[in-house]
Amino acid sequence: MSSEIPSRDEKQSIASSSNDIIAQLNSKLSYLPSVDDESYHKVLRRVDMRIMPLVLVQYLIMRVDVTNISNVAIMNIEQKTDIKHQLHLSAQQWVWVVASFYYPYMFLEPISTILLKKTSAPVWISRIMVTWGIVTCCIAATTSYGGLITARVLVGALEAGYFPCIVCAYFWTFWYTPAELAMRVAALYSAASLSGFVGGFLAYAISYTNGVLAGWQWLFILEGIPPVLIGILTLFALPSYPEKSNWLSAEEKDLILKHLHKDAPTIHGKTFDWNAAKLLFTDPTYYSFTAAWICAGVGGSGISFSLPTVIKDLGFTDSRMANVLTMPPSFAAFSLVLILGYLVQRGKINPFPVCLILDLVIIACYIVLLYVDTVGVRYFVLVVSTGASGSLYPMLWPKRVQALRGTAMAGLGIGLHNAAAQFSGILGPQIFSRAYL
């Protein structure tokens, strides 16, 4: 068999055609900004300065509000002015007080992400923060088990959706690519970790105000005021979409929009689309990520509902110092999240095997807690397990966001995944011994 060798003219023709094709491709791709494009990075820094500080403060306040119930559980318990004694709550009733927040929170999450698109990020996030802050303050006025349960359910319903709307990247996907989300999600989760640090310190300080009002009442009042104030600020300071941001020039808006991946949500995208829902529910990764979210929430985060009580039970100290000792575990999570987020963004590590390692570390820590009696060792593994469990979600969120295509699919998928994660708030208090609640 012989092959025909192209002549010199044919070779030149092929080379010319190849050059033409390459030139056409280059012209079509020329609108995409390079990773090293200084003009794009300058715009990105402006966007970060406008969005990130406000969102960091929002999320810090939100996590302090979510976890304050664990600090309240032991405040002033020695003086018999803690919430359980004053409201005459049994151990089983306290389990339901903790879990009641998560029932409306879980079921209203997907709806809230859709309503954000119906309104706008500034309006919807402001509504969430102001209303949950007001009701949190009102918890101080409760005098019975029924009143406390009602207030907790109402706070859960009002607060539902904040996390998937803004933190879990639905709002962010209008501004950032999945590759850019890794470090920003890590920064947000580091703020969540600092909430334990802040919450522990506040609980310690406020416990000394036990007087006209009990310490737990002051805690709810003082932690309910900041979300109201920041919520009002959010209405005027948080941008909605690149297209509607007057503080950006037309060229800067164009740079941001062209840099987003082709399946990113847009201002003109459908709020809800049955085809997008069908595509989501027929995607096998939806179920694998949902299972991962539930397992990580129940296994890794359950202890957070009772961490101050667990520390006190170790025999370290009284209730005031037990709240202070929640600060080192929070700082461990803060540090680990930032380190791993940086490494993921730089492409130094693959998040999936790292998450598997973190899961194994958590399991090992729990085994130590079961079989080792040395107080110092048990506290050390509490610090390690808290740091590891706090790093799981920020490692996986950017990868999940990347797989969600379009506005409707992103909004629904993010909301449903985060709703599944809230199952830990329902099951966690039931798993951990009543002695710790």
Question: d(Cα 236, Cα 123) in Å, to the nearest integer?
Answer: 9
Number of Cβ within a 10 Å radius of residue 109: 26
In angstroms, the CA 429 to CA 102 distance is 11
- Please count the other Cβ atoms lying within 10 Å of the Cβ belonging to residue 167: 27
Residues 239, 245, 247, 250, CA torsion sign: positive
d(CA 230, CA 126): 8
- The token pair at 368 is 């130590």
Nearest to 110 by CA among 428, 427, 420: 420
pTM comes to 0.76
Residue with token string 């002015």: 81
Average pLDDT for runs of 10 along the chain of length 437:
50 50 44 59 90 91 87 84 91 87 84 78 91 95 94 92 67 77 81 83 84 89 95 91 85 84 57 70 80 73 67 72 82 86 81 86 87 86 85 74 63 72 71 54
> Which residues, 6+ apart, have CB-to-CB distance to 278 below 8 Å?
none
CA-nearest of 423, 419, 398 to 111 is: 419
Hey, how many other C-beta atoms are within 10 angstroms of the C-beta on 180? 18
Instruction: Give the three-state DSSP class for 87.
Output: coil
Q: How many CB atoms lie within 10 A of CB 4?
A: 6
Phi, psi angle pair for 54, to nearest 5°? -65, -45
- State the pLDDT at residue 30: 42
Which residues lie closer than 8 Å to 230 by C-beta, 6 or more apart? 54, 57, 58, 61, 129
- Show me where the domains of the chain are located: 44-436
DSSP state of 374: -
State how far the Cα of 17 lies from the Cα of 29, in Å rounded to an integer.
Answer: 18
CATH 1.20.1250.20 fits 44-436, yes or no: yes
Q: Cα–chain-centroid distance for residue 430? A: 23
In angstroms, how far is CA 248 from the centroid of its own chain?
27
Residue bearing tokens 């919520």: 231
CA distance 145 to 148: 5
The answer for residues whose C-beta is within 8 angstroms of residue 221's C-beta and 6 or more apart is 137, 140, 213
